[in-house]
Chain A
Amino acid sequence: MDLYRAHVLVCGGKECTDANSEAIINIFNKELKKQGLEKEVQVIKTGCFNLCHAGPICIVYPEGAFYSQVKTTDVPVIVQEHLVKGKIVKDLLYKGSFEKGIVSSLNNVDFYKKQTRIALRNCGVIDPENIKEYIAMGGYQALGKVLTEMEPMEVVKAVQESGLRGRGGGGFPTGKKWEFAHKIKDDQKYVVCNADEGDPGAFMDRSILEGDPHAVVEAMTIAGYAIGASEGYVYVRAEYPIAVKRLKIAIKQAKELGLLGENIFNTGFNFDLKIRLGAGAFVCGEETALLNSIEGKRGMPRPRPPFPAIKGLWMKPTLLSNVETYANIPQIILKGADWFSSIGTVKSKGTKVFALTGKINNTGLVEIPMGTTLREVIYDIGGGIPNGKKFKAVQTGGPSGGCITKDHLDTPIDYDNLIELSSMMGSGGMVVMDEDNCMVDVAKFFLEFTMDESCGKCPPCRIGTKRMYELLEKMTNGEAQPGDIEKLEELAYNIKASALCGLGQSAPNPILSTLRFFRDEYEAHVNDKRCPAGVCQGLLTFTIDAELCKKCGICANKCPVECISGEKGKVVYSIDKNKCIKCGACLEACPFKAIKKG
C-alpha cells in the first residue's frame, strides 16, 4: 500500500455535489498528476460535513486546512501553493463565523481541537436517559456483531490486539485479563465494573456514567459473552446520585428492549446486570476490597494472588475493569483493533480521559490521544495558568501518583513515561499547581487523605501513614528538626515495600515525588523554618518595608489583634511578630504593597 503524505477530503454530500464537487475531485487528480504528486497525495470523497452553506468544501490533511466555496479555478492554486510549497492558502479558508471575529461553536475552540473522543464520544451529545439516542449513534451494534458474528475467543483477541490497557490506574493489559477469565473453566463467572472513583479532583468515570451509561452496559454485556459470564455488577459510589440514577434507567431500558436479560439477539446468550452502591471508602476502589464489599463483607483488600480473574467475586473467576476501560470496548469492536491501536504511542494505545482541575483556566473534562504532551494539555487545551502566575507542577495519579515539574512538560503522556517520572497515569485526575502552592503542603494534603482512608488492615499503612503525616505536620508548623527529611524518606520506602495493597504501597508516592523534585522546599521548611510559597501559616512572617511605607496607618486599623504600631504621618509602621496571628489582613489592606509575606 502506498503511504500518502497528505490527504485531500472533498465533500461528496448532496449540496456540494450539486455545487460541482465532482469536477473539483477530477481537477485535483489531474493537477496532482501534473505535479507528479499522485503517489504522495490522496484525494478522497467524503460524506456531508454539515456545513452545506459553505460548500463545496475540501479539507487538506495533515494540516486540517478547511477550504470552503472552492471553485474549479481554485484547485490549481491549492495544489501549487499548499501541496507543492506547503503554504496554506489563507484567502480560501473557511471564514464562517470567524467573519465577525467570534467563534460560536465549541468545536472551533482550542479546548476541543486537540481532543479525540472515544470514551466520551456521546457525552454532551445524546440524552443519556434515552436508549434510542444511544442506538441512533450506533449503540448496541457492537453487541449485535459480537453475538451474531464472533466467537468468544475472537472477541478476546480483538481486545488484546487493540492494545487497550486498564484506565483505572495500573495500566494492566485489558486483553490479558479477558484471556485469563475466558480460559479458566467454571460454572459461574462474573463481570464487574469499578465505578468507585475516589481520587481527589477526578470525575471521569462519573461523567461517563452520567453522559453515556449505555456504553458501559453494552461493553459489560460484550465482556460477559467473551468470558462466559451471565451476571455482572457495577460498583458505584452512592455519592454519585445522578450517575446511579442514569445507570438504573439505562439497565431498565436495555432490559425492555431485550438487550439485557435472556436470549439476547436470539442467540441463547443471557446476561443480567446489577448495581451495588459503595459507601465512599477510598479503599473500595482497590479491586479485592471492592469484591469484598460487593459480597457484603467489610471493604478490606485480600492478598493477591489469587487475582480476581482466577478467584474473584465469591471465589469465582471475575473480570474487573474500570468504567473508562469498558467505554472503549464497543468502539474497538465496531471500528476494529487496528483502528484503536493506530491511536497513541507504542506501548499505550488509544486515548485517555483527564479531569483538569486546580490552577488552570479551562477546568473540565478532556480526552486526548496517548502521546500528547503535558504542555499541550495544560496550555493548548487547558488554556494555561490563571492570573499570569507561573506554572509549578502538575499532579497526576491522585494520592497514589506524584508531581511533574516544568522540566518535564514536553513528556508525551503514556503509562510508562509517567511512571518513569515517579508519577503514574492513575485514573486521570490532573491537578495543576502554580507558584503559590507549597509542595510540602500538597504532600501533606494527600497524606491526610490516605491516612484517613486507610482501612487499617495492615500496620505499614495504618501506622505508617499516620507517622508520615505527623512528620509533615511538624515541618509545616516550623517544629521540624534536622534529620526529619531523611526519617520521612526512609519511612516512605519502608511503607512502599511492605503495605498489603496498592493503596498502601502507593501512599508514600506524593512524598517521594515532591522530595525528588522539590527537596529544596522541604529543606527550607526544616532548616530555615521558612515556606517559600508562603502557604504554611506556622512559618509565615509579615514585615513592613520601611522604605515603601507611607505611614498611612490603614494596616494598623485593619489588624484584628492590634499588633501593628507606628504613628500616622510621622513614624513608619512595624509588626510585632510575637503578637501577629498571620491572618494577612494588613497585606490585603496596604495600598502601597509595603507589606511582605515570607
Chain B
Amino acid sequence: MRNSRSSRSPRISRSPRRAVTAAALAAALLALSACGGGDDSGSADASGKVEGEITFQTWNLKANFKSYFEGLIDDFEQKYPDAKVKWVDQPGEGYADKISADAAGGTLPDVVNVSPDLVAPLAKAGLALDLDKSAGKYEKEYLPGAWKSHQVPGMEGTYAFPWYLNTGPLFYNKRLFKDAGLDADKPPKTFDELFTDAEELAKKSKGKVATLANVPTIEDFGRYGVPLMNKEGTGFTFNDAKGVELLTKYKELYDAKALDGQALTATPESTGKKFLTEAVAMNPGSALDLEKFKKDAPRLYENIGITPQISNTGKDNMYVMGVMVNTRTKHTPAAVAFAHFVTDAQRQMSFAKKVAIFPSTKGSLDDPYFTKADGTDETRVRIAAAKSLKTAVNYTPVLFSEQMKVELRNAVARALQGKQSPKEALDNAVKACDRLLKQS
C-alpha cells in the first residue's frame, strides 16, 4: 500500500498544495473584491488652522480656464501660506464614472466640483461634508435657492457650496417662422402657444420643418407645471393628469411632424446641428452659441431670434454647479476654506466675466455687467438670463439619476411611437423610477 502511494506521490502531494494555493487565491480575490469600505473619515470640524495639501478637482475646465484657476490657487496659497492646493481636471465625458471609481476606491479628492445629482449619492454614502454643520456661517452669502440646491430629500444638511449657475434662452429661426406665415416678432411664450405655432409650421412646410428636435425631459415636465416628486422625496409624481396632458400634446406634435423624426434618438449635439442647418426652428442654448452661429451659420445668425424659455410656471429652468468637500479629507479647515474661496462673490464674479455663466452669490446678479445693455446680442442674452435666474428653478430633482432619465426617455419614446398610451407610459416610468429610488 505504501509503495502504491509512493509511486503516485507527486500527484497526491500536489493536490493539497494546489488546494491551498487555490484557497489562498480565492481568499485574496474575495478580500480584494470586498475592498473599498473602511472608515477612515476625517474630522467635520472646519474651525482649525488652514494648512496642509489638498486636491481640488474640476469638471472639464482646464482646457479653457487654466490661467484663471492657477491664479485663483496662487491667491489662496498667498492668503494661507501653510496650505497647498493640487488642481486636477477631469474630462466632461464619464465624469460621474470617474467620481464613482474614486469614491469606491477611497481616492476622491478633498474638494470636488459636482452637480446636485452627483452630490446626492455621495452624501448618502457619507462622503460629502454637511456644510450646514461645518460652514453654516457662509450660507448668507449665497442666493437662498442656490444654497438649497445641494440639499438631498430625506437627509438633513447641505452638501456643497453653490458655484456657478446657468440658464439659457430659446433661440428660434425668424425666417422659418416668417415662411410659415407666423409673426417672427411674437415667438411662443407658453406651451400652448408653442404647440399651436409648431403645428402651423409643420403644416405650412408640409412636414419638412420641425419646430423642436428633442423629446420632453424632466425639466420640460417641470416648466409645464407638472409636480415631479412628492414632498417627502420618496416617490415621483410626473404621471399626474398634467404630465399625461403634456405627453399627449407631444404625441400630436410627433404625428404632425412638428417634432423632428429623429427626436427619439437625439442628443444635445445632434439637435444643435439640426438647428444650425435650419432643419428645426427652435432650440435651447446659451450666449456661447451666438458666436457659433456667427461663425458656422451666418445665414442663421442673420435670422436668429432670442426668446425666454417656454414656461407655464413663469419660472425658467436653471442648472447649478457646486463644490463639495470630501468627509475623508485629512485637512477639513483647508478644504472648506478653499471650497468657499472658489465660490465666494469676488471669485464667482471674476469667473463670470470670462465665460457665459452666472454667480450664485447674493447681489452679484445686480452688478452692471448683468444689467446694463451695450447694444450687442451677447449682452442682451446675458441680461435676460441674469434676470430670469432671480426666479429660476432647478427643475431636475436631486434624486433623479441617469438611469431614471433613461427610463423617462424610453417611456416618452414608447408613447410617441404609439406603443403605449401617454398615461400607461408615464405610469410605467414612475414605477421604474420609484423602484430605482428605493434601490439607491
The finding on whether chains A and B are genuine partners in a shared complex, rather than unrelated, reads no
Residues of A within 8 A of B (CB): none
